[in-house]
Chain A
């Protein structure tokens, strides 16, 4: 762990019990079922940087975000924030300092604000909870300052959330997240529920705030354009594991892992609408029974025998770590062979 690491995740594993009720299990003679949401994830986030996690729905991005935010207990491994293990907190009082320094922005701006609270009270909640300011003039001034910081009018404090648009609500969310002067903000898909035109405004606001306040972001997203715009470092997740992580520029320009390559191939390019792309066959396997070996091997165009039984260990490729046997064995072709689902293989390039 380098000195400027603010958050480090070591061997994080989160599993959920998705079993049927006891009676059903007895009648149908099925066993317990476990969702392997996150498996042995390691990552380090440097102070003042933006670390983005990308991957398809259900790959475990949000679970990692919630674990880091302290609302999901890890099954194994640990998260240490500013050198303190957050799983070691036994009481709410012990975790208060960490909860003040770490805040979260949510995906759905229509669900993340209490509809019965006025905006001023919503933004004041972290301040009041941590006893940072007494109720009164000082608190009102701070709320007005926060509203101006995120580009809203100070008089908006007296309105209710339903009087704002999605983008404005997301600004309120950001103001609430900033209220306790945090060092770290977990952003769980902060723009995916917004209009494209508003997305850019929110992202630019987040960047501006990062520069002014020295914030560190963990950005969860499935939008590669957003990630390219924001991230310093990048982690690509597939079925609960990070398959490739490191410098964002390198990962986007020269991806190594077959999954990263195929994922980047899905990004539409307005300048080359007819370029040939490698299409990914099949679907993400169920996290209830993840494949043995490398989780990606059933869909991987370059998988071999070893991939199906041995989990790849991360290997260093310049400024990134890649977990892939093909990369390790240097047998990765420059362009991936097409592996279309034979049932849908109609040969069109649509």
Chain B
């Protein structure tokens, strides 16, 4: 925090205002990772416009053009910048659409996990007692299973319970729920510990004395004061969630092969990697690395920038 804006009586900046932007401009890592992240998100949103071919339209794929190396020309004169996959799909288009799927799954699962985790953490921390014990023991159990195992379990159960078509249609929501199920614990634990310190503070007591309802105390007093760390965990977890989606899709229990995702593209290419067709796996793999690296670096920077103890 700068000292000048304290004393001059102007309307002060909130923490997300000028201070953080100033620090953002001063950090080259933050600028580069931020720009890359935003560019990738923009590419995913504008996939229909940017991608040279529609990866969901089987008509654009041509089996004769299958497994062409990057820069090849197809039989109809199309140029495939990053080559084609075994179905003759343009790799670049498939990757852009795959990026879309990966980001949708990653962002939604983190949003769901954060929502559930923050809510349960608030309740556990504020009310304590049996409710706290119950929620935290569930969290402990949850924590003892790896994310992949939980996702595999959910996938197995839903695959048996639902018909093949329904399962394919619900693959993305199921995947989001499975990833969220293994990620909410972190939020719940963090928020709970923050609430434990906040709920005893005198501004909460003042609200209680005045007769403010518990819901309002939680929503407008405690929640805003515990959200900072949640934001940081969410950014760092985003990369992890995208990687989890890729891992599950690679293992064949995530996104079905008919819909491209970065993970499923790597899996498809895996079969051909020893035939020398490296690009089918390497290109989406590289994009995955760039995406998770930039999101992670940005999250790292955000964590440091929001930590008042590290502010020089």
Question: Is A112's CB under 8 angstroms from B202's CB?
Answer: yes
Residues from chain A with a CB closer than 8 A to the CB of B224 are: 116
Of residues A95, A96, A116, A186, which shows the largest number of chain B Cβ atoms within 10 Å of its Cβ?
Answer: A116
Bitwise interface map of A from 80 to 119 toward B, beta carbon under 8 Å scored 1, else 0: 0000000000001001100110111011100111111000
Is B209 engaged at the interface, CB distance under 8 Å to the other chain? yes
Tell me, yes or no, whether B213 is within 8 Å of chain A by CB. Answer: yes
**Which residue of the partner chain, among B201, B203, B211, contacts A95 with CB atoms under 8 Å?**
B211
Q: Which residues of B contact A160 (CB under 8 A)?
A: 12
Question: Which residues in window 179-232 of A have CB below 8 A to B?
Answer: 180, 186
Measured between alpha carbons, how far is A129 from B221 in the docked complex, in Å? 14
Tell me which residues from 1 to 31 in chain B have a Cβ below 8 Å from any Cβ of chain A. Answer: 6-7, 9, 11-12
A119 to B6, CA, bound (A): 14
Query: In whole angstroms, what is the CA distance A124 to B273 when docked?
Result: 67
A115-B225, A116-B225 known; A126-B210 Cβ under 8 A: yes
Against A, the Cβ 8 Å flags (1 = close, 0 = not) of B186-229 are 00000000000000011101111111110000000100110000
Chain A contact residues: helix, strand, loop or mixed = mixed
User: Judging by beta carbons under 8 Å apart, are B225 and A114 in contact?
Assistant: yes
Q: How far is the CA of A88 from the CA of B6 in the complex (A)?
A: 46
The yes or no answer to A297 lying at the interface (CB within 8 A) is no
| A12 on the B face (CB < 8 A) | no
**A residues near B225, Cβ cutoff 8 Å:** 114-116
* Interface membership of A306, Cβ < 8 A: no
How far apart sit A162 and B13, CA to CA, in the bound complex (Å)? 11
Q: Does A159 belong to the interface (CB within 8 Å)? A: yes
Q: How far is the CA of A99 from the CA of B211 in the complex (A)?
A: 6
Q: Is the CB of A106 within 8 A of B205?
A: yes
Tier of interface size on chain B? 20 to 34
Q: Is the CB of A176 within 8 A of B206?
A: yes
Q: Is A313 an interface residue (CB 8 A)?
A: no
- B212 near A125 with CB under 8 A, answer yes
The answer to whether the Cβ of A130 comes within 8 Å of any Cβ in the partner chain is: yes
Residue of B6, B12, B201, B210 with most partner-chain A CB within 10 A: B210
State in angstroms the CA–CA spacing of A66 and B202 once bound together: 11
Do A159 and B12 form a contact, CB below 8 Å, given A106-B202, A112-B203, A116-B224?
yes
Task: Compute the total of residue contacts between A and B using a CB distance below 8 Å.
Answer: 65
Query: Is A6 an interface position by the 8 A CB rule?
Result: no
Question: Within 8 Å CB of A176, what residues of B?
Answer: 206
Within 8 Å of chain B (Cβ to Cβ): is A53? no
Given contacts A125-B210, A160-B12, A163-B6, contact A71 B203 (CB under 8 A): no
Q: Which residues of B contact A126 (CB under 8 A)?
A: 210
A159 to B8 CA separation, bound complex (whole angstroms): 11
Of the residues A71, A115, A159, contact of B209 by C-beta under 8 Å: A71
Question: What mask results when residues 152 to 167 of chain A are scored 1 for a CB within 8 Å of chain B, else 0?
Answer: 0001001110110000
- Chain B residues with Cβ under 8 A from A99's Cβ? 209-211
Contacts of B213 in A (CB 8 A): 92
- The yes or no answer to A76 lying at the interface (CB within 8 A) is no
A104 proximity list for chain B (CB < 8 A): 205-206, 209
- Asked whether A129 lies within 8 Å of B209 as measured between CB atoms, the reply is no
* Chain A proximity of B50: nearest CB distance (Å): 40
| Contact between A125 and B207, CB atoms less than 8 A apart | yes
Q: Shortest Cβ distance from A207 into chain B, in angstroms?
A: 22
User: Which residues of chain B have C-beta atoms less than 8 A from A162's C-beta?
Assistant: 6, 12
By beta carbon, the residue of chain A nearest B216 is A129
Q: Please name all residues of chain A whose beta carbon is closer than 8 Å to the beta carbon of B201 when the two chains form the complex.
A: 111-112
Interchain nearest-CB distance for B7 vs A (Å): 8
A69 at the A/B interface (Cβ < 8 Å)?
yes
Which of A103, A112, A114, A176 neighbours the largest number of chain B CB atoms within 10 Å of its CB? Answer: A114
- The answer on a CB contact under 8 Å between A71 and B210 is no
Question: Any chain B CB within 8 A of the CB of A48?
Answer: no
Whether A112 touches B206, Cβ cut-off 8 Å, given contacts A92-B213, A125-B212, A130-B211, is yes
Residues of B within 8 A of A69 (CB): 209
Complex alpha-carbon distance, A54 and B283, angstroms: 75
> What's the Cα separation between A116 and B201 when bound, in Å?
14
Query: Of all chain B residues, which has the CB nearest A180?
Result: B210
Residue in B6, B208, B221 whose CB lies within 8 Å of A114: B221
User: Which chain A residues in 134-179 approach chain B with CB under 8 Å?
Assistant: 155, 158-160, 162-163, 173, 176
Q: Is the CB of B207 within 8 A of A103?
A: no
Q: How far is the CA of A115 from the CA of B203 in the complex (A)?
A: 9
CB pair A163–B12 under 8 Å, yes or no, is yes
Q: CA separation between A69 and B201, bound complex, in Å?
A: 15
Residues of B with C-beta under 8 A to A71: 205, 208-209
B206: A residues at CB distance < 8 A: 104, 106, 112, 173, 176
Q: A70 vs B207: C-alpha distance in the bound complex, in angstroms?
A: 12
From B7, B201, B203, B212, name the one whose CB has the most chain A CB atoms within 10 angstroms: B203
Name A106's closest neighbour in chain B (CB-CB): B202
CB distance from B72 to the nearest CB of A (A): 57
Give chain A nearest CB distance to B282 CB in angstroms. 47
Which residues of B does A touch, CB under 8 Å? 6-7, 9, 11-12, 201-203, 205-213, 221, 224-225
The 30 sampled A-B contact pairs (Cβ below 8 Å) are A66-B205, A70-B209, A99-B209, A99-B211, A102-B209, A103-B209, A104-B205, A104-B206, A104-B209, A106-B202, A111-B201, A112-B201, A112-B202, A112-B206, A113-B203, A114-B203, A114-B225, A115-B225, A116-B224, A125-B207, A125-B210, A129-B210, A129-B211, A129-B212, A130-B211, A158-B11, A162-B6, A163-B7, A176-B206, A180-B210
3 closest pairs, A vs B, by CB?
Answer: A99-B211, A112-B202, A106-B202
16 additional contacts, CB 8 Å, given A111-B202, A112-B201, A112-B206?
Answer: A70-B208, A103-B209, A104-B209, A111-B203, A113-B203, A114-B203, A114-B225, A126-B210, A129-B211, A130-B210, A159-B9, A162-B6, A162-B12, A163-B7, A163-B12, A186-B209
